Structure 1
Amino acid sequence: MDALTVANDVVPYVTAAVAAYGGAVVTRTTDGVADATVSLGRRIVQRLWSREENRDGLRQAIEEVADDPQDDDARAALRVQVRRILRQDAELAAELARMLPARSFTASGDGAVAVETNSGVISTGDGATIQR
């Protein structure tokens, strides 16, 4: 997986951990009551934190998300910092990708389609005509 994809996939977990623990997410020990998402997010943050040269940017992004976990701009800034770290360390990107739960897609109902990536047309309409 490339750094952007991994960053997009890990930031929701990091955001959940930051929302639960605030800026202390980096030093927080395992909490028996933490749910799986927050626990995974905390472990991801700790792995990202291991890159000392990126700590200042990561710290700032974490603090902004901690101040307002619903702020789309703060989450986007966090995603940029995570992506920056992962682009510099392909092994860390691969490690974090392995930590993530398997993706699953479900489609239900008439004409429903579930795809991860599509580079063409998907048509489920009756009598649809596709022209190139």
Structure 2
Amino acid sequence: MSLEMAELAGQAGQYLAPAVSAYGAAVLTRAESAAADGTANVGRRILRAVWRRRDERGRAELEAAVRDVDEAPDDEDAAAALRQQIKRALRDDAELRAELAGLLPAGGGTVNVTASGERSIAADTITNAVTGDHVTFGGDGRTDA
């Protein structure tokens, strides 16, 4: 499997468990829910795209993997088996690779940030940030301390 396919499968994988958690084993057939968060809906779209492009045997394998994740959401082996189904589908279908790339948010993956300690800041993107006392922002964006 090429590096591009492995990266795409890895990025897609982070959306699968939230989709199964939100929709259950019916994730392959249920309509999108406004109540589900964006991550779950992206995962649902990924699974549906794979589902549509699989033959009868592939669909049965995908259903079984989804059911296993639904029944044991904390089981890493079940999650890995579902990701493997996605990898297999990507390996076999260049059009699916393009479709999944279009479904994934720009930038590729999740950004994890951690803030620890007094006045710490954690963010993916910061326009302005101040951790001091008695600071105001001027109209030009500069701070006056």
TM-score normalised by structure 2 residue count: 0.68
Which of 77, 89, 92 is the equivalent residue of 1:88? 92
Which of 20, 32, 35 is the equivalent residue of 1:33? 35
- Partner of 2:31, secondary structure, is coil
Return the structure number with greater relative CO, CA threshold 8 A, min gap 6. Answer: 1
TM-score normalised by structure 1 residue count: 0.74
Is the contact between residue 54 and residue 89 of structure 2 (CA under 8 Å) also seen in structure 1? no
Which residue number in structure 2 is paired with residue 57 of structure 1?
Answer: 61
Which of 13, 19, 22 is the equivalent residue of 1:20? 22
**2-side partners of 1:18 and 1:91: how far apart?**
24
Count of residues in correspondence between the two structures: 109
Which residue number in structure 1 is paired with residue 50 of structure 2?
Answer: 48
Report how far residue 94 of structure 1 moved: 1.6
Report how far residue 52 of structure 1 moved: 3.1
**1-side partners of 2:20 and 2:89: how far apart?**
18
Runs ≥4 residues deviating over 3 A = 104-108
Moved more, 94-103 or 65-74: 94-103
Greater C-alpha radius of gyration: 2
Structure 2 unmatched ranges of 5 or more: 115-145
Is the contact between residue 2 and residue 93 of structure 1 (CA under 8 Å) also seen in structure 2? no
Identity %: 44
Is the contact between residue 3 and residue 90 of structure 1 (CA under 8 Å) also seen in structure 2? no
RMSD of aligned Cα (Å)? 2.1
Report how far residue 19 of structure 1 moved: 1.2
Which residue number in structure 2 is paired with residue 7 of structure 1?
Answer: 9
